Amino acid sequence: MAIAIPGLYVFHLARRWRLLYVLSATAALYLNAFVGVVQTFQKIPFFQALAPTQSEPPFVIAQVALLAIFILLGVTAAKKFHPG
């Protein structure tokens, strides 16, 4: 967010700041979702039974799938985001 905030409020999404804004905002959202998945595997009994140490395949698959989704969304957003 340290890059997204000046890009939005100081540089008004001009030129490369638009791309930096989209990518940093997407990365910040990904990190929040990453923590959500980690907490899901820590606190919900069904998921905790699947990956008690968070190094088992179900946990790794969930994190890789999440990363792939956010890469796809980030690339799509970077291509299509044009402020009005």
Please provide the DSSP assignment of 30-83 as one string: HHHHHHHHHHHHHH-HHHHHH-TTS-SHHHHHHHHHHHHHHHHHHHHHHHH---
- Supply the mean pLDDT for the chain: 92
> Above pLDDT 70, what percent of the chain?
99
Q: What is the pTM of this model?
A: 0.86
